[in-house]
Amino acid sequence: MRPRILIINDDGIQAPGIRHLYNSVKSFADCMVVAPIAEKSGAALSMTLTKPLKLTPVKWEGAQNIWHVNGTPADCVKLALNDLLTSPPDLIISGMNRGSNAGRNVLYSGTIGAVIEGVFRNNLPGIAFSCSDFDEPNYAAFEKYVFPIIEHFLQHPLPEGSFVNVNFPSPAAGKIRGVRIARQGKGLWTDNPDKRLHPQGEHYFWLGGTWKDCEEDPESDVHLLKEGYITCVPIHINELTNHELVDKHKPLFEDLFDHLTKEDLDFEEIP
C-alpha cells in the first residue's frame, strides 16, 4: 500500500524546494501539499490568532491536492489535519528548506515547526529536509536521497514524540560522502541587527543573523555536514522535563516549603 504523505514548508508555496520534495516522493506515495502563501522562515511553531485563515487550492501541472494558507507552517498542519484530510497521514515531510537547519536552529525553523506540530497534535512521525547551501541550493541533486530516507523510517517507525531532521551538505564540502545518523550540533544563527535610518528620520532594524561556531562533537550534524555527509538527527520532543534537575532539586525544594509555616508565606486560600 502506498504511504499517505502530507508535505509542508516554510519558504512558501512558490519556493522551488517544495516542488523538488514533491517530485522526490510523488511516484511512491499519495501526497497532499499544504504550504504558506508567503515565506515564513523563522516562524517555528507560531500560529495565527489575529486574523482569519483561508485555504486556497493551487494548480500545479500534473498534480492534485495542492493548497496554500495565509498563515504559518503550523497553521498549514492544523488546517490540513482538521479540514482537508479525513484521516491522519502516515507521515509529514517538510522542506526542502533553503539554508541549513543543523545545530540549534531547530528551535527557530518553520520547516521543523511544521513536523513538530504533527508530533504534538497526532503523534504523527515527521521528517524535515534542508539544504545547507542558502544562495544556490541544488535541490535536484538531493531528490534521489529523499525517499530512501523516508522508506527507512516508515519500515522502522520512530517512537511517539519523535521526528527526524535531515540536512544536505553544501558544495563547499566537495562531494557527498554518505548518509549518517547524527546527533544535534551546537552551532546556531545569532542576532546581528543592522540598524538603519529611515528617510523620515526614524531608526529601524533589519534583524539578520550571523553563524556562531561552537566546539562540535565529531558525530554532530554540524561537523558531519562540513565533511560532506547527509545528516539525519532523530529528535524527541514528547516531554521536555529535565529529569536530572527534578531528581536533584525535588527533596531540597519541597522540604523547604514543607517546613515553612502559613505565617512565613502568608498563604491564603485560592478564591
Lowest mean pLDDT among 147-151, 227-231, 242-246: 242-246
pLDDT at 253: 87
Amino acid code (one letter) for 110? G
What's the pLDDT band for 216 if we cut at 50, 70, 90? confident
**CA separation for the pair 187, 227 (Å, rounded):** 15
pLDDT at 122: 81
Q: Is the CB of residue 119 less than 8 Å from the CB of residue 164?
A: no
**Sequence spans of domains, the chain:** 4-186+215-242
pLDDT above 60: residue 271: no
User: Pairing mode, if any, of strands 162-168 and 126-131?
Assistant: parallel
pLDDT at 206: 78
Burial 206-245 (b: 16+ CB within 10 A, else e): eeeeeeeeeebeeebbbbbbbebbbbbbebeeeeeeeeee
What's the pLDDT band for 214 if we cut at 50, 70, 90? confident
pLDDT at 267: 59
Cell of 5: 504523505
- Cβ neighbors of 72 (< 8 A, separation 6 or more) are 10, 36, 40, 43, 46, 47, 48, 110, 113
**CA separation for the pair 147, 27 (Å, rounded):** 10
Q: What backbone phi and psi angles, to 5 degrees, belong to 213? A: -75, 145
pLDDT at 193: 78
- Cβ neighbors of 52 (< 8 A, separation 6 or more) are none
At residue 98, the 3 state secondary structure works out as strand
Q: The whole model's pTM is what?
A: 0.90
pLDDT at 238: 87
pLDDT per residue over 115-174, tens digit each?
A: 999 999 889 999 999 999 999 999 999 999 999 999 999 999 999 999 999 999 999 898
pLDDT at 191: 73
Tell me which of 196 and 75 has the higher pLDDT.
Answer: 75
pLDDT above 70: residue 268: no
Cell of 6: 502530507
Q: Is the CB of residue 188 less than 8 Å from the CB of residue 221?
A: no
Whether residue 47 has a cis bond before it, omega within 30° of 0: no
What's the mean per-residue pLDDT of the chain? Answer: 92
Nearest Cα to 19, choosing from 142, 175, 176, 116?
Answer: 142
What is the mean pLDDT of the segment spanning 224-243? 94
pLDDT at 189: 67
With respect to CATH, is domain 4-186+215-242 assigned 1.20.120.1200?
no
**CA separation for the pair 85, 89 (Å, rounded):** 8
Cell of 262: 502559613
pLDDT at 37: 98
CA angle 73, 76, 81 (to 5 degrees): 135
**CA separation for the pair 156, 147 (Å, rounded):** 14
pLDDT at 269: 64
